[in-house]
Structure formats: C-alpha cells, structure tokens
Structure 1
Amino acid sequence: MNQKALKTLEYYKIIEQLIEYASCESGKELCRKLVPSTDYEEITTSLRETTDAVTRVRQKGGISFGGVKDIRASLKRLEVGSSLGIIEILSISSLLTASTKAKAYGRHEDQEISEDSLEEFFRILEPLTPVNNEIKRCIISEEEVSDDASPGLHHVRRSMRSINDKIHTQMNSILNSNRSYLQDAVITMRDGRYCLPVKAEHKSQVTGMVHDQSSTGSTLFIEPMAIVKLNNDLRALEIQEQKEIEMILADLSNQLAPYLEELETNFHTLTRLDFIFAKAALAKHYNASEPIFNTKHEIHIKDGRHPLLDPKKVVPINIHLGKTFDLLIVTGPNTGGKTVSLKTVGLFTLMGQSGLHIPAFDGSELSVFDEVFADIGDEQSIEQSLSTFSSHMTNIVQILNQADSNSLCLFDELGAGTDPTEGAALAISILSFLHNMKCRTMATTHYSELKVFALTTPGVENACCEFNVETLQPTYRILIGVPGKSNAFAISKKLGLPDYIIDEAKNHLEAKDETFEDLLTHLEENRVTIEKERIQIASYKLEVEQLKARLTQKEERLDERRDKMIKDAREEAQRILRDAKDTADSTIRQINKLASESGVSKELEAERSRLRNKLQDVDSSLSLKREQKNPKKGIDPKKLKLGDGVKVLSMNLNGTVNSLPNAKGDLYVQMGILRSLVNISDLELLYDDSVSAPSENRAKKAGSGSSSTRMSKSFSISPEINLIGMTTDEAIPQLDKYLDDAYLAHLPQVRVVHGRGTGALKNAVHKHLKRLKYVKEFRLGVFGEGDSGVTIVSFK
C-alpha cells in the first residue's frame, strides 16, 4: 500500500490512537507496524480476532498486558548458559504472572460457550507456576533477595545482624564516653565502615583509623580501633552475602533454562493478544462494527462516521460503489462534506484491510483492494516550484501509471486549478480512462460537464451533498443518483445581491447550461416532494397500525362483554327455573297432603313428575353449553403428572394430584387440608386452576329463600384459594377476583393459602386485605388450619 495514500487519508492518526490502547511496549510496537493487508484470508482472520476480543471484553471486562516485558535478550543469555540478574529474572516472573492472568481470563466458566478465534492463543500459554512461585519466594524486589532464598544466605545475614548489633553497642559506648571530643553525637558511615565525627583538635583522644575529613578540616571521621575487627568481619560477611545471592540467581537461571521455548512462546502470544485487545478497545471507543469483506470490489457503507471528527457533530453518510456502477461523481457546495465523504471511503477501506472495525452500522461492506490512491487536498509544492494544478497533475500521472482494476482511486476537485473548460475536459478524459479499466473511482467536482458525463455514461453515477438554500447550510447528507445543483445564484440572492445583477449574470449563461440547471432544479424539487410524501406515508402507516390495534382491543372487550351477558342471562334463567321448580314442588306437596284421603294423590303425583321432567329438560338445554365444555373423559395414567388438577367424583371435591397411581390405579389427592387415597377411575381431569371445594353440596343446603346471587355463585365458589407458587404481581389480581365472588356468594369466611416462604406473598395479601371495605377481619391460621401458611378472612 503506497505511503502517500496512508498519509493523505490520515491512516497514521488512527494508528496513533491504537497505540494508546496497547499495554506493553511490544504490543505498542505491533500496533505501530500495522499496515493494510491485501490477503482476503488474513483480513477476515484479523477482523474475526478483533470481533471475538470485543465480545470477550463485553462479557468479562477488559484485560491488561502491562506486565509483559521484552525478555528476548535474557533468553539469549540463558541459551548460552549465562546467569541472569535480579531485574532480568523479575521481568521473566512478570511475564509468567501475566500469562497466568491471561490463561485464567481465557477460560470459559460456561461450558456451553463455543470456542472462538482467540481460544488457541490462550491455550498455548504456559504459566510455569512452580518456577514463578520459586522466583517470587526468593526475590522480593529489584534491590532485595529474601533471607529464606537459601540456608547459606539466611546464616550469613543472621551473622551480619549479630555483628551489627555488637558494633552499635560498642560504638554507643565509645560515643557516650567521648562525647566532648565529638563534633556531633552521631554514628556515621564512611566507605562502608562505621565511624565517629571527632573534632580535629581531639584526634589523639580517640584511637583508631582516620577514613575521611570534612571540607573545612575541622572534623575527622575515625573508626575506633575497638571495632576495626568487627567492621572487617562485617565486610567479609557482605562479600559472602553477595556470593550467596549470585548462587541463588544462578540456580533460578538454571531452573528457567529448560523452558526457553515456552517463555518465547508466552512473550509472542501475549504481545499478539495485547495487540488484538487494543484493536477491540479502539472499536469500543468508536462504537464500531465489523465490516463484511468481499472480493467483488463492492463497497456499501451504512451510516458511516469519519473517526477523526467530533462524534457529537459528525453526520453519518451512506455510500455504495461497485455493484451497479464503478465510478461515482460527487458534486455540491464547498464545506458540504464532499472531501469528508472521500476520506471516509478511503480510510474505512484502509482500516478494514488492517483488521480494524469501522464506525458504521452493522452489515457495512468493504472490498479488498491491492492499492488505494488518493489525490486530496492542496498539493502545491514550493520546494519543487509547482503550482497547485501541476502538483495535482503530477500525482494523477503517478496514479494512472499504477492503477488497475484492483485499485480504489479517490480524487478531490479533479481538474481544478486551471481553465474550467480545459479542466472539465481533462477530468472527463481521466475518469473515462479509469472507468474503461474497471477501476473503482470516486471523484468530487464543481463542473457541470462531469454531471452530464455521469448522466449519459453507463456504469457512472451522480451523487451530491445536500444543501439547504434557506439556511445557507449544508446537511452533509450524500444523495446518490442525484446530481448536485449549482447554488451560486440562490446563495447570492439570499445574501442580498441585487436581482438585476443576478439577472445579468444569467444572461451570460449558455442556453444548454441554463437548461441543465433548470433540469437539476426540477429534479431537486421532485426529490424534496418525494421525501416529504415518504415521511407522510410513514406517518399514515403508523397511524393505521395504531387504529388497527385499538380496534382489535375494542373487539376483544365487546366479545368479553357479550360472553358475560350471555353467562348472566343463563344464570338468571336457571335461578328462575329453580325458584319455579321449588314453588311447584312445595305446592304439590301441600296439595298431596290435603288430597291424601280423596283418592287423587296418584294422579297429582304423576302430574308433578311430568312438570318436574319438563322443567329439568328446559334447565338442561340452557346449561348444555357449559356442560359440553367439561365432558367426563377417562384419565390416561401415563399422562397424569404431580400437581395436575382433578375432581374426585364420589366426593364432589376439586384437588391436586399428590402421588402417581400404583398398579391398581390408586393415588393420593390433596383437597385443601384433606389428603385422601382414591382410584383413578373416580377422577376427572380439570383444565383450570380451581382449588378444592364443595360445590353441589353447598347448593343443596341453601334454602329456597336464598338470593339469586348466592344460588349462582355459591354453586361454584370454593371456600379457599391457593396462591402458592405465584408472584405477588400474579397473586393479587387472582385474590381480588376470588374475594369479590366469595363476598357476592355470601360466604361467611374464606381461607387464603399463601405458604410461609420469605413472607413476601403473605405481606402482600395482608396489605391488600386492609384496603377492602367488605372484609370484616382477617387472621393467620391456627394449628389444624394451616398455621402461618394460611390467612382466614371474614366478611361483613
């Protein structure tokens, strides 16, 4: 890839940002050397590594490789049998520690997560934990080796401490007895030996060796003879200590020597991982995505944002090139975004081919190009005495000599800097040459001739940077397929240029130019109209969808009201029939009593039976729909599960299956607080969450004078509701409806089963009961009622 394009498209500014995200020096060096690749497999592999690193960072957080040191020189010394110094060994230890952390970071806690492209990097790391632990045990810091590194070092240092104590004891004794002869009452060191600062005039009073004197000569630093031998012994021990340390370092070096290959592999692997995760951090910074690469030289950028512009101000652009046309000519006013569009396409291509994500919407496509050429900006060269036009043309000549069908060429203001007529003709000729070579090209221009060239040449497309004449501001939107209109007259008029001057200027336009500008004006007006209509249609579409949703909800509510009205009418009809039947039975019994001696009792009884049968037939026909909903069916033992709702026919109670049937078909059923062994043939499977309760039995006990509400509701309302297993949000609506039905049925009290658990459901139930006006009181159950797992509710 030519260096000029990399510099022109500001590729190295991206690399500088990438370097900042690398943790170690070797990783930064890899970032510094990163250049676009032209190998499709290498590009896709590099992009996949970046994507997998982004995924890992999102799932596990970031990872630092700051502990990775360049140990290659130390490995060379180990290879020839040399011993390493403390700093070198600590650098290897730091590398091994980083390997341990990276190895742990690379492990998958969730075994279902599939392996990615980074799995092999983490797998080949060798932390060499035993050797690293030994290094950490022996070496405390760059200046200190542990006393326990070896028995010999431990013995030497213990002896040194003992001699030091003796020296300080004797020195303090001498200091106290000769305090008047001393310049200061302190013990000092000179050349590694303990001395006293003696006044020059009293040097004869303190016997010993003079090691130094002050700059004025008034103070002599004398080592008392009494501690000369101790100082000599201490010095000898220091030499022995150094030998012991050298032996320890030699031993650690020998332990590292067999792992030269593993250490080198760790270094290169961690460096590579640091480089990959730096690319991931850059992608996160840009909110970038992985581009899809192809080999068809097709580019499709969706909502691309130039990475070096302020993300709060940059306007995303959409550009495609290479599918239906290979040459795109962009026109528009200055500062309208043409140059930024060129640079965005070129820089995205370079970033993608370097394995970097691009700041664009998911699904953006890029292609592999052998070369990217760019002629952008002011190319004037004072040193070479070249004008702007000459500099541009020199660069263009080089591009034409090297470009081919595998190249991407970018030209900013092609043909500018010379006579407009000649410049436009030259630009058309250059673009035609590149177009014939099938070279993917994007160029910006002000020339109307190039707009006509794009309109009349197959495979060439116009584009423009949108400009709002009313506000005199560019919108920075790229409109492909629409040639840009010259806004010079409109802008001048908006800025206050008199109309007569503008009219005079229009007279100087050639007829074909004026016609062409009028055509562009018409096209722009049509485009704006279509855009407004598209927005309006989208608004209408949204409104229709909302109306449709509201209509559907209304129909559902009407269906619910209709079903409720039918149900209420059926219950009312059944109530009337029961009252009529009870009245008829009572009347006939009275008649039978009075006519028992008249001999007509048999005829009356026959008439009574006929009336009852007729009423029962009518009652059955009204209840047919409800009876058909729950026809009795045999239960398959294999399909029966724990917790299924069933009805015990012989007891007329609802309950839940508490155990599976045995060979005889017997099983346990929980009915409220009652648990009973029944046969499967005596069960009917329920398809709702009804709780166990008597039904028909309560109805039979009710007298004929009971209200219609009680007759209908108490027929099906249970004296308890089971809320166990529900959340508070699920339980409260169920409880509210149940309490309403129970109150209307005139039940004196009910039992709410909420269980113990954490107490959250119980608290929610009690809080709701306090707000109900028809609840007289409520309390927790006592022994035999369910204890604190139930609440007994009484109604007013």
Structure 2
Amino acid sequence: MNDHALKALEYSKIKQQLMHYTASSLGKRRIEQLQPAETLEAVRNLQEETDEGATVLRLKGSIPFGGITDIRPALKRTKIGSMLLAKELIDIADTIRGIRLMKSFILDLAEDQELDLPILTGLVEHMTVPGGLEREIRSAIDDQGGVMDSASTTLRHIRGQIRTFDSRVKQKLENIVHSSGKMLSEAIITIRNDRQVIPVKQEYRGAFGGIVHDQSASGATLFIEPQSIVDLNNQLSEARAKERHEVERILRVLSEKTAEYADGLLDSVAGLAQLDFIFAKASYGHQMKASRPRLNDRGVIRLKRARHPLISPDRVVPIDVLFDEQTHALIITGPNTGGKTVSLKTTGLLTLMAQSGLQIPAEEGSEVSVFKKVFADIGDEQSIEQSLSTFSSHMTNIVGILGQVDDQSLVLFDELGAGTDPQEGAALSIAILDTVYGRGATIVCTTHYSELKAYAYERPGVMNASVEFDVETLSPTYRLLLGIPGRSNAFEISKKLGLPEEIIDEARLQISHETNQIDKMIASLEQNRKAAETEEENARKLKHDAQAREAELTKKLNDLERNKEQILIQAKEKAERAVKKARQEADEIIAALHHYKNSGNVKEHQLIDAKTRLSHALDALESTDSRKIKHRIQVPKKMPAGFKSGDHVRMTSFGQDGYIVDKINDHEYLVQAGVLKMNVQDSDLKLVKEEKKTRPVVNVRTSGETVRPELDLRGDRYEDAMLKVEKYLDEAMLAGYPRVSIIHGKGTGALRKGVTKLIERHPNVKSSRLGNQGEGGSGVTVVDFK
C-alpha cells in the first residue's frame, strides 16, 4: 500500500485510536504492524474475525485478558540457556493462566450459546497450556516476584539460619548500644557494606575494636562493626551467599523447564496478540457505532450515511457515496471549506479501514471495494526543502501515481490542477483524469474548475457531485449531493451582503448565456432534490412507524403463545395432582374395607359410604387418566373433507409448510412443521398439491411410549449413542415421520461424524443436513426419510 496515501489520509491516527481498545502490549504491537490487506479473500477473513469478536462482546461485554504480558523475550532467552529472573517467571505463570482462561472462555461460550466461531475457536484450540509448569512456578515464587522458602528444603533451612544469625547480631548490637551511652553519635544500628554497624565517636574508636566500614563527612563519626559480632556477621554473610546460590539454582531449574515449553508458548502468545487485536477492532467498531461492510473487488462503493472517523461525532455530517458497476469516477465541486476534501478523505479512509478488517462508521448495507493500490494527492504539498511550489509538488506526486496506477487502484485527487493558470490547470486536469480513467482506476476528484463540471456529462462512467451551500446562512452544510454539480453562488452571496443590484446585473451580463442557463438548470435540480428528500424522509417515517407496529404485534403474538403454553402446563400439573389425590383416596378406602373385613365388625351404612367414596374416586381417576392419556397419545379424529391426517399444508400467516397430525376441534388442527407442533385455525391453512402422495405424519405407536420427532444424544457415550440412533431411525420411520432431528451437540465432532456415517448406510434415509439457524446449527443433524 502506498505510504504517501496512508499519510495523507491519516491512517496512523486510526491505528492510534484503535490502540486505546487493546488490553495488553501484545495487541498494541500487533496494531503497530497493521497494514491494509490487498486481496478480497484476505479482507473477508479480517472482517469475519472482527464480526466474531463483535458477537462475543455483544454477548459477554468483556474479555478475560487479565494478567497477560508479552513474555516472548523471556521465552527466547530460555531457548539459548539463559536464567530468568523471578519476576519474569511469575509473568510467565500469569500469562499461562491467562491462556487457560481465554481458551475456556471462547470454547465454553461457543458450546453453551451454540455459536459458530471458527476463527476464534481455531485460535484457542491450538494454544499450549502447560499447567504443570504454572504450578511449579507458583509453588516457588510469590506474586511479588520473590522466591519463597517453600521452593526447596535447602532454601528453607538456609533462611532459618539467616534469621537466627540476624537475630543474634541485632541482640548483641542492641546490648552494646544500650551500654555505650555517650561513646555513640546516635543510639542506632545501621548498615554499611551489607554489615550491621554502630556509629561511634572518633575519640572512642579503641573502646570497641573490630572493623571500621565507613566514616561521616566530618570524620567525627566512625561506623564500626564491633569485634564481638564480627564472627556472627561472617556467619550471616556466608548464609546469605548460600541463599543467593540456592535461589539461582531454583531459578535456573525453572528456566530450563520453561525452555521445554517455549515454542508452544510462543505460538500461544502470538494467538493472544491476535485475539487482543480482534477484540480491539470489535470494541472500536462498537464505540463508533460502525457496521460490517459488504465487500467486492469490482470498484463498487456504496457508502450510506458515512462519517469521517476522526471528526467529533457531534460535528460530523454523514454523506452518501455511490460508485456502481457503471460509475468509476466522481467529480466533486463546490466552495472552499465546504467539505469537498472531507468527502474525499472519508471515501479513502473508510476503504483503508475496511481493508484492515475494521468495521466502518456507516449504515448497515454499505459496500466497499478492495483495491490493491490506493493513491492520494491531498492538501498543501509545498516543499521548502526542495524549493518546490505547491503546483510542482502536486505534479511530482501525480507523476509517481501515473507510473503505478492500474485497474485495481483507487486514486484520490484533491484540487487537481490547482496552483497554476486556471485555463491551463483545467486542461491539464482533464488530460490527467482521462489517462487515469483509461487505465480502469476508480477516481474521486475535487476541483474548482467549471470545465470539469461538463467532464462528467461528456464521458460515460463519470458522475458529478457537489457540496451543499446554504445561501440563507452564507455557510456550507457539508452535505455531499450526488449527481448535481456545484454552482456559483457568488451573485446570491453578494446580494445578501448588500452589493447594489445594478452591479450584480452588470456582472451577470459578463457571463455567457450558456453559463447562466447551466446555473439555472443546477438550481432547478437542487429544488427537485430537496423536494425528493422531503418525500423520502416522510416515507422513512412511515416505514419506521410500520416496523414499530409490526414489532408490537409480534410481541403480543409471542406473549399469547407463551401464555397458552403456560396454561397447558398448569392444566397438566392440575390433572396430575387430581390423579394423585384420587389414587391416594382410593387406596385409603380399600385399606379401610380390608380393615372392616378383618375385624368382622362392619356396619351396613359404613360399607355403603365406603363404596360410594370409592366409586367417586375411581370415576375421577378414570376421567383424569383418560384425558391425560388422550393428550399424550393424540389419537387421530375423523378429519373433515377439507383436511385429513398426513395432508401437506401451508400456514399462510407464517409462510411455513407442515403436515396435518390431528383435528383439535371443528376449526382447529394440530400441525407438525419440522420438529415443532402447533395448533392452527383452518382459515390459516392451505392444502399444498404434490405430485407424489405425502407420507402421513401420525405420532402414534401401538404399544410403549410415543416416538419423539427428535433424539438427544448429548452426554451419551459413543457406542451407546450409535445403538440409540440405529434403533431410533427404524422407530421414527415406522411412526410415519417424514423428518426427524438428531441432537448431538458440537463438542469434538466425534458424535456428529458417527451419526453421519450411520445415516449414510441406512436404506430408508433420503437425505440429511446440519441444522439451520434456529434449528440448532451444527449441533443438530436433520434427517429426511424416503
């Protein structure tokens, strides 16, 4: 990608903004290396990974990047035999923990939510998580990077000695300090040369003997290690030397073990860097309210309400940019400070962002073309160092562009031909545009030259555009108007500012008739455009109101369905309680009758009362059980002439096909659509004619339990699952199902592969496929019978 274009379009500022959303130095370094991709396939992959990151962020809100650091320099040093510091080792342990948490986070989310995240899961599945190394490091080094006593038995013993010797030295010195009084400059114990000493006045130097380690600036105080503690300090120093050697040994052992996993950890850290980059892109897009653009490599650009990402959201004005299959050049005219350059930069910068895998600040449905080369000639290119004028600098840059431009290029010209004689500049601009256009490049060009307004009308594939100017407020609106060239507002502005009418009329006489006619035509176009925009806004509001009404009605329908399901559940529970109560009462009555019989002392009225209660209990039990059994078995009733069991019907309100299973009442039927069953009014059903007779769907078995339209294998062992599938396919076919679903989950994919092989061998299976969205995705296999 052309470095001059990246600089002119301020691509580096986008990277700086993106870095704010990284969680570690790993992501920042990845962004530092970021460059726009140059092939459609590469850009699609970058956009896909950003979209997966956005999905995860939308569901979880945050990503577990805590504790992760860039440990690659330390890992590379272990590979050449270097010993790591304790702090470096604890950073490695923290990063291993971060890898483990990230891996679990992504895989668990994908499985629990049944999400298809191939890029993210692919990254984490290949990550090395040496849990044993992490435990060894943490058992030897604390969170502050200090080697703990528990790191080895030898270290624990040495540090015990150090504490003992240190305590003895302190105790003896404290005794000396307390008994020495005026001979000391201060009653304190201090350290010199890693030895514990006391500050002795010069004149009492001989009273203590020992070793002088230092003296004060005036020489009045000597820092003396008294002779009585020299041996103890020697023992303490020796113990501390042993401690250093043992700590180094422990660190070296841990460094050697780390080296064994260095290659795998380096790959894992590279994966973490990519994940940090992906989620930074997703977070950046969310903050900008960006969308994923459609992609092509045919030069088609459709930006809907696009916003320049470096302009404050409360100031930026959205623009529309259109390059269809027939349009390859856009000529933007209009006044200075009107927004021409911003429109040009927006087009170029959003193209670079899309090719970098970033979502773009534009409405859904926007489309961007992938270019191998992006060139830009923007702004004041005057070079003092090279003694070049603005015009010369622009021409130098344009010469370089002409040497590389082809049909895979996007070329941005800002004020093409400016800085020289207007007539010559306009002629030169037309010649340059013809050359670049002739090579098949896509062009966006801003200009002041009126000659270029006619350029678009004379050449197919070139479109005029202008930036809107409000004559009433004498200020630009910064809106880009497609298909309309900019017109001169000099006379209107002069009139507003108070210039006499006669001067303006005299000026109009100096303008050619053709120019005046063109200005009138442009003014008419602007009026028509404003009227069309008003109508479009009204239509947009009506559409919005209709969508809101549709959403409200859909919510009410869903609420009704949920209430209906809840009522059925409550009715079932009530029936089960009634059955339980009736059975319990019957058992109690029978027990009482047995008691009367065994006692031999039964009265006539007791017997009659017990029989009556038993009869009522049995009636209730029979009634409730029959309803329950009837509901469960769903025995088909006699169908009307219009619909019968097994009829292929369409539910007109849903637009879905299904099969008649049962008649509920005179105007309602039980319909099976896929794995779902629902009650549908006959007015909502339409018979679907088929060439072949449809297999009737009757969910009835002569004995045993009803076959369900789906089989759930999750949690089963492989061998058990395969036996279940083989048996279930036979039973489902006999039950009359045209289609069933086998739920095997995603997991490792072993169950899915086994189910697929078994289905392929089954003689009565017509076809099979993985579930669509809403059917369980790749965690479900849908089977159609012959």
**TM-score of the superposed pair, with normalisation by structure 1:** 0.68
Contact 2:64/2:101 (8 A) holds in 1: no
Q: Residues 538 and 176 from structure 1, CA distance in 2 versus in 1: closer, same or farther, beyond 3 angstroms?
A: closer
Tell me, in whole angstroms, the C-alpha distance in 2 between the residues paired with 1:100 and 1:380. Answer: 55
Matched position secondary structure for 2:175: helix
Query: Which residue does 2:133 correspond to in 1?
Result: 131
Query: Which residue does 1:14 correspond to in 2?
Result: 14
Query: Which residue does 1:317 correspond to in 2?
Result: 319
Q: Residues 377 and 144 from structure 1, CA distance in 2 versus in 1: closer, same or farther, beyond 3 angstroms?
A: same
- Asked whether 1:232 is paired with 2:234, we answer yes
How far has the Cα of 1:343 moved from its partner? Answer: 0.2
Query: Which residue does 1:763 correspond to in 2?
Result: none
Tell me, in whole angstroms, the C-alpha distance in 1 between the residues paired with 2:61 and 2:404. Answer: 46
- Asked whether 1:62 is paired with 2:56, we answer no
Matched position secondary structure for 1:311: coil
Tell me, in whole angstroms, the C-alpha distance in 2 between the residues paired with 1:340 and 1:199. Answer: 79
Aligned pairs (5 A) from 1:580-729: 658-659=578-579, 676-677=619-620
Tell me, in whole angstroms, the C-alpha distance in 2 between the residues paired with 1:451 and 1:146. Answer: 79
Tell me, in whole angstroms, the C-alpha distance in 1 between the residues paired with 2:623 and 2:199. Answer: 109
How far has the Cα of 1:513 moved from its partner? Answer: 1.4
Query: Which residue does 2:635 correspond to in 1?
Result: none
Q: Residues 140 and 437 from structure 1, CA distance in 2 versus in 1: closer, same or farther, beyond 3 angstroms?
A: same
User: Number of residues paired by the alignment?
Assistant: 581
Query: Which residue does 2:298 correspond to in 1?
Result: 296
Tell me, in whole angstroms, the C-alpha distance in 1 between the residues paired with 2:86 and 2:56. Answer: 35
Query: Which residue does 1:249 correspond to in 2?
Result: 251
Q: Residues 533 and 191 from structure 1, CA distance in 2 versus in 1: closer, same or farther, beyond 3 angstroms?
A: closer
How far has the Cα of 1:536 moved from its partner? Answer: 6.1
- Asked whether 1:514 is paired with 2:516, we answer yes
Matched position secondary structure for 1:221: strand
Matched position secondary structure for 1:256: helix
Aligned pairs (5 A) from 1:45-60: 45-60=45-60
Contact 1:68/1:271 (8 A) holds in 2: no
Contact 1:329/1:462 (8 A) holds in 2: yes
How far has the Cα of 1:380 moved from its partner? Answer: 2.1
**1:582-634: CA deviations, max 9, x gaps?**
xxxxxxxxxxxxxxxxxxxxxxxxxxxxxxxxxxxxxxxxxxxxxxxxxxxxx
Matched position secondary structure for 2:488: coil
Matched position secondary structure for 1:21: coil
Q: Residues 677 and 235 from structure 1, CA distance in 2 versus in 1: closer, same or farther, beyond 3 angstroms?
A: same
Query: Which residue does 1:3 correspond to in 2?
Result: 3
Query: Which residue does 2:88 correspond to in 1?
Result: 88
Q: Residues 89 and 325 from structure 1, CA distance in 2 versus in 1: closer, same or farther, beyond 3 angstroms?
A: same
- Counterpart of 2:238 in structure 1: which amino acid? A
Tell me, in whole angstroms, the C-alpha distance in 2 between the residues paired with 1:228 and 1:541. Answer: 94
- Asked whether 1:496 is paired with 2:498, we answer yes
Unaligned runs of 5+ in 2: 554-567, 587-615, 629-786
Q: Residues 387 and 250 from structure 1, CA distance in 2 versus in 1: closer, same or farther, beyond 3 angstroms?
A: closer
Tell me, in whole angstroms, the C-alpha distance in 2 between the residues paired with 1:683 and 1:145. Answer: 75
Q: Residues 642 and 367 from structure 1, CA distance in 2 versus in 1: closer, same or farther, beyond 3 angstroms?
A: closer
How far has the Cα of 1:314 moved from its partner? Answer: 0.6
Contact 2:24/2:68 (8 A) holds in 1: yes
How far has the Cα of 1:140 moved from its partner? Answer: 2.1
**1:57-100: CA deviations, max 9, x gaps?**
22222336464444344334432434323233233223213213
Tell me, in whole angstroms, the C-alpha distance in 1 between the residues paired with 2:542 and 2:164. Answer: 96
Query: Which residue does 1:363 correspond to in 2?
Result: 365
Aligned pairs (5 A) from 1:330-409: 330-409=332-411
Tell me, in whole angstroms, the C-alpha distance in 1 between the residues paired with 2:84 and 2:547. Answer: 77
- Counterpart of 2:286 in structure 1: which amino acid? K
- Counterpart of 2:38 in structure 1: which amino acid? T
Query: Which residue does 1:451 correspond to in 2?
Result: 453
Deviates more, 1:280-289 or 1:526-535: 526-535
Among 231, 256, 260, which residue is 2:262 paired with? 260
Tell me, in whole angstroms, the C-alpha distance in 1 between the residues paired with 2:531 and 2:142. Answer: 77
- Counterpart of 1:201 in structure 2: which amino acid? E
How far has the Cα of 1:181 moved from its partner? Answer: 1.8
Matched position secondary structure for 1:318: strand
How far has the Cα of 1:658 moved from its partner? Answer: 3.9
- Counterpart of 1:387 in structure 2: which amino acid? S
Q: Residues 644 and 243 from structure 1, CA distance in 2 versus in 1: closer, same or farther, beyond 3 angstroms?
A: closer
How far has the Cα of 1:222 moved from its partner? Answer: 2.1
Q: Residues 655 and 280 from structure 1, CA distance in 2 versus in 1: closer, same or farther, beyond 3 angstroms?
A: closer
**1:438-485: CA deviations, max 9, x gaps?**
221111222222222212322111112222211222222222122222
Aligned pairs (5 A) from 1:184-223: 184-223=186-225
Matched position secondary structure for 1:210: strand
Query: Which residue does 1:722 correspond to in 2?
Result: none
Tell me, in whole angstroms, the C-alpha distance in 2 between the residues paired with 1:309 and 1:483. Answer: 25
Contact 1:375/1:392 (8 A) holds in 2: yes
- Counterpart of 2:45 in structure 1: which amino acid? T
Contact 1:642/1:657 (8 A) holds in 2: no
Tell me, in whole angstroms, the C-alpha distance in 1 between the residues paired with 2:97 and 2:515. Answer: 73
Contact 2:285/2:359 (8 A) holds in 1: yes
Query: Which residue does 1:582 correspond to in 2?
Result: none
How far has the Cα of 1:106 moved from its partner? Answer: 1.8
Query: Which residue does 2:477 correspond to in 1?
Result: 475
How far has the Cα of 1:332 moved from its partner? Answer: 1.9
How far has the Cα of 1:141 moved from its partner? Answer: 5.4
Q: Residues 107 and 344 from structure 1, CA distance in 2 versus in 1: closer, same or farther, beyond 3 angstroms?
A: same
How far has the Cα of 1:42 moved from its partner? Answer: 1.5
- Counterpart of 2:247 in structure 1: which amino acid? I
How far has the Cα of 1:341 moved from its partner? Answer: 0.6
- Let me know the Cα RMSD of the aligned residues: 3.5
- Counterpart of 1:244 in structure 2: which amino acid? E
Among 153, 156, 160, which residue is 1:154 paired with? 156
Tell me, in whole angstroms, the C-alpha distance in 1 between the residues paired with 2:194 and 2:424. Answer: 88
Tell me, in whole angstroms, the C-alpha distance in 2 between the residues paired with 1:683 and 1:93. Answer: 65
Query: Which residue does 1:432 correspond to in 2?
Result: 434
Tell me, in whole angstroms, the C-alpha distance in 2 between the residues paired with 1:370 and 1:396. Answer: 18
Q: Residues 392 and 480 from structure 1, CA distance in 2 versus in 1: closer, same or farther, beyond 3 angstroms?
A: same
How far has the Cα of 1:135 moved from its partner? Answer: 1.0
Unaligned runs of 5+ in 1: 553-640, 646-653, 667-672, 686-796
Q: Residues 547 and 375 from structure 1, CA distance in 2 versus in 1: closer, same or farther, beyond 3 angstroms?
A: closer
Matched position secondary structure for 1:464: strand
Tell me, in whole angstroms, the C-alpha distance in 2 between the residues paired with 1:73 and 1:542. Answer: 56
- Counterpart of 1:50 in structure 2: which amino acid? T
Tell me, in whole angstroms, the C-alpha distance in 1 between the residues paired with 2:122 and 2:108. Answer: 13
- Counterpart of 1:264 in structure 2: which amino acid? L
**1:755-790: CA deviations, max 9, x gaps?**
xxxxxxxxxxxxxxxxxxxxxxxxxxxxxxxxxxxx
Tell me, in whole angstroms, the C-alpha distance in 2 between the residues paired with 1:420 and 1:372. Answer: 28
Q: Residues 683 and 437 from structure 1, CA distance in 2 versus in 1: closer, same or farther, beyond 3 angstroms?
A: same
Matched position secondary structure for 2:403: helix
Contact 2:26/2:272 (8 A) holds in 1: no
Q: Residues 441 and 77 from structure 1, CA distance in 2 versus in 1: closer, same or farther, beyond 3 angstroms?
A: closer
Q: Residues 168 and 321 from structure 1, CA distance in 2 versus in 1: closer, same or farther, beyond 3 angstroms?
A: same
- Counterpart of 2:359 in structure 1: which amino acid? H
Q: Residues 542 and 411 from structure 1, CA distance in 2 versus in 1: closer, same or farther, beyond 3 angstroms?
A: closer
Deviates more, 1:89-98 or 1:504-513: 89-98
Tell me, in whole angstroms, the C-alpha distance in 1 between the residues paired with 2:380 and 2:147. Answer: 62
Tell me, in whole angstroms, the C-alpha distance in 2 between the residues paired with 1:12 and 1:222. Answer: 62
Query: Which residue does 2:106 correspond to in 1?
Result: 106
Tell me, in whole angstroms, the C-alpha distance in 2 between the residues paired with 1:190 and 1:128. Answer: 45
Tell me, in whole angstroms, the C-alpha distance in 1 between the residues paired with 2:470 and 2:18. Answer: 37
Tell me, in whole angstroms, the C-alpha distance in 2 between the residues paired with 1:19 and 1:540. Answer: 42
Contact 2:293/2:365 (8 A) holds in 1: yes
Tell me, in whole angstroms, the C-alpha distance in 2 between the residues paired with 1:57 and 1:249. Answer: 39
Tell me, in whole angstroms, the C-alpha distance in 2 between the residues paired with 1:255 and 1:236. Answer: 29
- Counterpart of 1:27 in structure 2: which amino acid? G
Contact 1:197/1:220 (8 A) holds in 2: yes
How far has the Cα of 1:251 moved from its partner? Answer: 2.1
Q: Which has the larger radius of gyration?
A: 1
